[in-house]
Amino acid sequence: MAIDDEDVRDQLRALEKLYAHTPKCQEPHPDIGCWQTLYDYGPDAVKSWAKDYKHPYPGIAFTHRPGITTLTTSMCKAHKALHPK
How far, in Å, are 6, 8, 9, 12 from residue 2 at the CA level? 11, 11, 9, 12
- List CB contacts of 73: < 8 A, sequence separation 6 or more: none
pLDDT bin (cut points 50, 70, 90) of residue 71 is very low
pLDDT bin (cut points 50, 70, 90) of residue 85 is low
Spell out the domain ranges in the chain: 27-82
How far, in Å, are 1, 54, 79, 85 from residue 63 at the CA level? 47, 15, 12, 11
State mean pLDDT over 18-30.
89
pTM score, whole prediction: 0.47
